[in-house]
Structure 1
Amino acid sequence: MINAIIFDFGNIFIDLEKAAVEKAFRDLGLTEWHADLDELNKRFEVGKATELEFIKGFQKHLPNASIEDIREAWNAVLGDFPLKRLEFLQSLKGKYRMFLLTNTDMIHIDRFEHKEGMSITRDFYNCFEKVYYSYEMGIRKPNVEVFKFILHKHELSPKRTLFIDDRKENTDAAASLGIQVWNLQVGEEEVTDLFAKKIISL
């Protein structure tokens, strides 16, 4: 029986608007997404690039964009944080050991906390035994070492742990360690379907 759940954040609790961020950068003059920006993003997500280094990397391609322009465009990806998902999460508190594990950066987390406000974000974080951000851990999914660390740190049994993520490469990595997984299909499934879809039983 499942006694622990590890949740992703983006597209599980907060909606991600990839078209919006692409449009925001096009509006700033970015004609294509360069390979160095992908590498820069990965470095930023594991804390190996500072916020200023990250923004200056974009300014190489967008010399007329200000720091705030780039920060705003980058945050355009952050969509709604539906209250029903928070309420569902709160209904699980005390029934399961719960953890948040997300590939993210300080710009996105800062915006999320400011946009939703102290009360909502506190209620959200209080649902988890521990929150893990890739930029603080220095490692990102789908590296299996992320999952090994959490299993060992919290003495979790893989077969009694469920990992929920919208990206298959991440759930595949977790499954390779014997962790139970749900590769949630965005637009077709909701985290609130957890019991209705019999991912785990009540």
Structure 2
Amino acid sequence: MIDTIIFDFGDVFINLDYGATERALEQLGVKEWNSDLDILNKKYEVGKIDELAFIEGIQKHTHNADLVTIREAWNALLLDFPLYRLEFLQMISSKYRLFLLSNTDSTHIDKFEHKVGQSFARDFYGCFEKVYFSFEIGKRKPDENTYKYIIGNHNLVPKKTLFVDDKLENIEGAKKAGLQTWHLNPKTEDVTSLLEFIKTI
């Protein structure tokens, strides 16, 4: 019997277009997303570097683009957050213990909050017992210890806890921690089908 749900954020609640950021960076001179940029991104996602260091790190791979333009390009992937998903979340928040666990950075979260407005963001965050962003906790999925950190903090029972994510590697990490999982395909499924999925567990 599921009593707790841990949700991913991107492509579960807010729609994303990774290609938009890739295209925007390409226009600034970034030829490819190489290993240096990947390492830089992961450092930023766990709070080891600040926004300025991250943006300046990307700048070295551009045709000397300005920092504001790079920041806008980085945020290009953030699309809409349909209201019906928030309403669904509010509806189930009285039935389950809910948590948010996202690999993200302060740049994306700042943009999200400005994009949807403070009231919407507050209503969204208010649905969760606790919100966990990787840049704040210094841990990221799919590291098994990231899930165990939340399990331990809230005395969760893994077999009664469902983890929802669109990325297979994060699902595999959650399974190692003993969690029930739903690998959501954002192209064909919507988080509002959650209750139907739970019936199949």
Quick check: TM above 0.5?
A: yes
Residue 194 (structure 1) shift: 1.0
1:14-93 matches, cutoff 5 A:
14-93=14-93
TM-score (norm 2): 0.97
1:158-173 matches, cutoff 5 A:
158-173=158-173
Cα distance in 2 between the residues matched to 1:181 and 1:139: 20
Cα distance in 2 between the residues matched to 1:165 and 1:112: 19
- Structure 2: which amino acid aligns with 1:95? K
| 2:29–2:63 Cα contact (<8 Å) kept | no
| 1:2–1:200 Cα contact (<8 Å) kept | no
Unaligned runs of at least 5 residues, structure 1: none
Range with bigger deviation, 171-180 or 157-166: 171-180
| 1:45–1:140 Cα contact (<8 Å) kept | yes
1:148-187 matches, cutoff 5 A:
148-187=148-187
- Structure 2: which amino acid aligns with 1:134? S
Say which SS state the counterpart of residue 36 (structure 1) adopts. helix
- The alignment covers a number of residue pairs equal to 200
1:106-125 matches, cutoff 5 A:
106-125=106-125
| 2:2–2:198 Cα contact (<8 Å) kept | no
Cα distance in 1 between the residues matched to 2:176 and 2:139: 18
Unaligned runs of at least 5 residues, structure 2: none
Residue 28 (structure 1) shift: 1.2
Runs of 4+ in 1 over 4 A off after TM superposition: none
Residue in 1 aligned with 2:198? 199
TM-score (norm 1): 0.96
1:4-29 per-residue CA deviation (whole Å, 9 max, x = no partner) reads 00000000000111111111111112
Cα distance in 2 between the residues matched to 1:109 and 1:193: 25
Cα distance in 1 between the residues matched to 2:115 and 2:16: 14
Say which SS state the counterpart of residue 53 (structure 1) adopts. helix
Cα distance in 1 between the residues matched to 2:93 and 2:50: 35
- Structure 2: which amino acid aligns with 1:61? H
Residue 63 (structure 1) shift: 4.2
Residue 174 (structure 1) shift: 0.9
Range with bigger deviation, 177-186 or 100-109: 177-186
| 2:8–2:102 Cα contact (<8 Å) kept | yes
Cα distance in 2 between the residues matched to 1:156 and 1:32: 41
- Structure 2: which amino acid aligns with 1:199? I
Cα distance in 2 between the residues matched to 1:144 and 1:174: 7
Q: Which has the higher helix share?
A: 2
| 2:28–2:63 Cα contact (<8 Å) kept | no
Quote the RMSD (CA, aligned, Å): 1.0
Residue 199 (structure 1) shift: 2.7
